[in-house]
């Protein structure tokens, strides 16, 4: 298992980022209702890539997966320590599709209409995972099952639940919260909450 609970060291911060409080529960935070997503819904990857990809969760699960232990920080102020997620690292998927040289940003799309953006370099960072399992169980619907993104080095709004697509971009586009004033970079240890 890859342990990312010390990721704060590389950002010169404490394990609990400033302005956060730890919770034992795992709260649910969604902009609306839980969308119904068929387990075999396809994940599409398109844009500035060599080969576009459309694959089911079953196909994704044939890629090399990883189990990781990480903390989860919501921008509204709660952090949940020691979440164990299993999934495919973003770089593995990036290698499959072949990212164009002029690609700079990524926009994640979700089945509830949610989107969130990150610079490509932040998506290639250790710990960015397309996850289908939490604490040994298939990811529940409210936490983004069947498939979500997790971003241990960012506030959790960077991790799209109910992931439907990944758009590789050669210029930035803003996601749902980013259009509403939330930070593009979202580093919890520098409290990058709002722009
Ligand atoms: N598709 C989708 N993904 C989303 C959201 C959302 O509303 N829709 N909310 C984000 C926010 S603000 C947070 S804190 C986390 C919450 O994840 P959780 O509900 O599993 O705790 O999901 C993020 N991903
Ligand atoms: Mo959040």
pLDDT for res 172: 97
How many C-beta atoms lie closer than 10 Å to residue 165's C-beta?
18
pLDDT for res 64: 97
Query: DSSP secondary structure string, 113-175?
Result: S-EEEEEHHHHTSTT-EEEEEETTEEPPTTTTTT-EEE-TTS-GGGS-SSEEEEEEESS----
Q: Give me 1's structure tokens.
A: 């298992």
pLDDT for res 137: 98
Q: Give me 156's structure tokens.
A: 């959790």
pLDDT for res 159: 98
pLDDT for res 134: 98
85 lines ligand 1 (CB under 6 A): no
Is 170:103 a contact under the CB 8 Å cutoff? yes
Measured between alpha carbons, how far is 75 from 181 in angstroms, rounded to an integer? 12
pLDDT for res 57: 97
pLDDT for res 176: 98
pLDDT for res 150: 98
Question: Could you tell me the distance, in angstroms and rounded to a whole number, from the CA of residue 177 to the centre of ligand 2?
Answer: 9
195 lines ligand 1 (CB under 6 A): no
143 lines ligand 1 (CB under 6 A): yes
Question: Could you tell me the distance, in angstroms and rounded to a whole number, from the CA of residue 87 to the centre of ligand 1?
Answer: 17
Say whether 95 sits in a helix, a strand or coil.
helix
How many C-beta atoms lie closer than 10 Å to residue 195's C-beta?
10
pLDDT for res 18: 98
144 lines ligand 1 (CB under 6 A): yes
Question: Could you tell me the distance, in angstroms and rounded to a whole number, from the CA of residue 101 to the centre of ligand 1?
Answer: 30
Measured distance between the N- and C-terminal CA atoms of the chain, rounded to whole angstroms? 35
Element (H, E) at 106: strand 105-110
Per-residue pLDDT of the chain (195 residues; tens, 9 = 90+): 999 999 999 999 999 999 999 999 999 999 999 999 998 899 999 999 999 999 999 999 999 999 999 999 999 999 999 999 999 999 999 999 999 999 999 999 999 999 999 999 999 999 999 999 999 999 999 999 999 999 999 999 999 999 999 999 999 999 999 999 999 999 999 999 999
Ligand 2 is a single-atom ion; what residues have CB below 5 A from it?
29, 74-75, 157
Query: For ligand 1, what atom is nearest to the CA of residue 80?
Result: 21
**Would you call the peptide bond into 146 cis, given omega within 30 degrees of 0 as the criterion?**
yes
Q: Give me 46's structure tokens.
A: 């398109």
Query: For ligand 1, what atom is nearest to the CA of residue 35?
Result: 1
Ligand located closest to 160 CA: 1
pLDDT for res 188: 98
Ligand located closest to 159 CA: 1
Question: Could you tell me the distance, in angstroms and rounded to a whole number, from the CA of residue 100 to the centre of ligand 2?
Answer: 31
pLDDT for res 37: 96
Q: Whose CA is nearest to atom 16 of ligand 1?
A: 29
């Amino acid at each position: 298992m890859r342990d990312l609970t010390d990721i704060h060291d590389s950002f010169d911060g404490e394990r609990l980022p400033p302005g956060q409080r730890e919770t034992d529960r795992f709260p649910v935070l969604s902009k609306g209702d839980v969308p119904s997503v068929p387990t075999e819904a396809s994940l599409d990857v398109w844009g500035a890539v060599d080969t576009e990809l459309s694959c089911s969760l079953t196909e994704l699960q044939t890629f090399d997966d990883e189990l990781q232990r990480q903390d989860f920080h919501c921008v509204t102020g709660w952090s949940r320590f020691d979440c164990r997620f299993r999934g495919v690292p973003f770089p593995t998927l990036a290698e499959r599709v072949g990212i164009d040289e002029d690609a700079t940003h990524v926009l994640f799309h979700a089945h509830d209409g949610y989107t969130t953006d990150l610079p490509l370099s932040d998506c290639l960072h250790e710990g960015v995972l397309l996850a289908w399992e939490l604490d040994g169980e298939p990811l529940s619907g409210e936490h983004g099952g069947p498939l979500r993104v997790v971003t241990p080095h960012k506030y959790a709004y960077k991790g799209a639940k109910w992931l439907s697509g990944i758009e590789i971009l050669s210029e930035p586009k803003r996601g749902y919260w980013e259009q509403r004033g939330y930070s593009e970079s979202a580093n919890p240890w520098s409290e990058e909450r709002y722009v």
